[in-house]
């Protein structure tokens, strides 16, 4: 017999998974360069120019040469009008957090119920957000014109004479808040509604099965799960109020006697009406500092719980 010898080859080692592809720095730079260039040109450069101009007494023509240091900032905080702008911003923020957002949340919960025609209601409440701020301001200027039935009724509800709600210093800020709420109410409602629909039905059904009432289910199940969306809405409301300009400018121009003026309106008045660009730049830097400080603190303290679970991975797996 002839012996047949077979060569036994060792088994191939098990696969260790898919290899990671190293991303080349040139590829990363190519993708980041356009966005980074736009960011530097449209965001960083104006901030640096405004910070530089705020240190000069400058009318906007030629090259700034009259250096005044911190005098523009000292003047801003010594100006009763600018301090009033800060107070009015605080009032609008408080009204938004205490009235606008809770009302939007309540309506979102209502429209989450199986109502007939709820899609139409959602569209009607969201439609004002699609309009521009200028269009909204012009619309309400017509609504609150004298001898308008709806405008006269709303004026009396706000405590002003018929058609004079924007001319009364005691009611103009409330009227501005009414217009702002009408404009942005639908945005917050849609955010809350989308978050509510993302909550699994099994959680609320389990709470109901355990004997929880509708209020207890909302308080201990729905509301905590809506926390991230509520915190985002609060952030948008505060930042939007600090930067509020075009709607106020078209509605009232900041009047009467500065009763509805905001920081952005004051900045525009001094920068483009009185040609005190250095002082207006100082006001813009104060607005930026307030927005940046609030965003930083809010993200680190309030929204920290929403980002603690984020996982960062190194490399890109192919």
**97-147 confidence digits (pLDDT tens):** 999 999 999 999 999 988 888 889 899 999 999 999 999 999 998 888 777
At residue 268 the predicted structure's pLDDT band, cuts being 50, 70 and 90, is very high
* CB count in 10 Å sphere of residue 240: 15
The percent of the chain in helix, strand and coil, each rounded to the nearest 5, is 65, 0, 30
**Model pLDDT, residue 315:** 41
- What pLDDT sits at residue 161? 73
Q: Is the pLDDT higher at 260 or at 117?
A: 260
Strand blocks (E) in the chain: 20-21, 316-317
308: pLDDT strictly greater than 90: no
CA distance linking residue 308 with residue 317, whole number of Å = 24
Tokens of 226: 């809506």
What pLDDT is attached to residue 314?
44
**What residue ranges define each of the domains in the chain, with the CATH number in brackets?**
45-78+274-304 (no CATH), 86-262 (1.10.3720.10)
More confident site: 16 or 314: 16
Supply the DSSP symbol for 18.
P
CA pair distance 203, 223, nearest whole angstrom: 12
pLDDT at residue 14, rounded to an integer: 52
Comparing 224 with 17, the larger pLDDT belongs to 224
What's the pLDDT score for residue 102?
Answer: 94
What percent of the chain lies above the pLDDT cut of 90? 61
Choice among 22-31, 38-47, 87-96, 238-247 with the minimum mean pLDDT: 22-31
Asked if 195 and 226 count as a contact pair (C-beta separation under 8 A), the reply is: yes
Q: 299-305: long-range contacts at Cβ-Cβ below 8 A with a sequence spacing of 24 or more?
A: 302/231, 302/234, 303/228, 303/231, 303/232, 303/235, 305/227
Q: Write down the pTM of the prediction.
A: 0.83
| Mean pLDDT for the chain overall | 86
């Amino acid at each position: 017999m002839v012996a047949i010898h077979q060569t036994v080859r060792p088994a191939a080692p098990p696969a260790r998974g898919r290899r990671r592809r190293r991303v080349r720095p040139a590829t990363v730079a190519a993708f980041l360069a356009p966005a980074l260039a736009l960011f530097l040109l449209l965001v960083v450069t104006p901030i640096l120019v405004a910070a530089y101009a705020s240190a000069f007494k400058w009318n906007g023509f030629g090259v700034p040469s009259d250096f005044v240091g911190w005098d523009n900032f000292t003047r801003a905080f010594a100006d009763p009008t600018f301090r009033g702008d800060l107070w009015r911003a605080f009032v609008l923020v408080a009204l938004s957090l205490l009235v606008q957002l809770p009302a939007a949340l309540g309506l979102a919960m209502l429209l989450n119920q199986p109502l007939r025609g709820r899609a139409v209601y959602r569209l009607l409440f969201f439609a004002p957000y699609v309009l521009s701020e200028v269009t909204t301001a012009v619309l309400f200027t017509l609504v609150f014109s004298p001898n308008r039935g709806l405008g006269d009724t709303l004026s009396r509800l706000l405590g002003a004479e018929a058609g004079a709600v924007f001319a009364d210093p005691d009611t103009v800020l409330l009227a501005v808040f009414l217009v702002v709420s009408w404009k942005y109410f639908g945005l917050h409602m849609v955010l809350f509604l989308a978050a509510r629909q993302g909550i699994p039905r099994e959680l609320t059904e389990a709470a109901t099965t355990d004997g929880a009432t509708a209020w207890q289910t909302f308080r201990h199940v729905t509301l905590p799960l809506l926390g991230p969306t509520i915190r985002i809405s609060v952030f948008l409301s505060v930042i939007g109020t600090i930067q509020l300009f075009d709607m106020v400018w078209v509605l009232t121009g900041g009047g009467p006697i500065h009763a509805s003026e905001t920081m952005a309106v004051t900045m525009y008045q001094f920068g483009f009406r009185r040609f005190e660009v250095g002082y207006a730049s100082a006001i813009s830097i104060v607005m930026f500092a307030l927005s940046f400080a609030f965003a930083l603190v809010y993200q680190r303290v309030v929204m920290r719980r929403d980002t603690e679970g984020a996982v960062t991975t190194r490399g890109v797996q192919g």
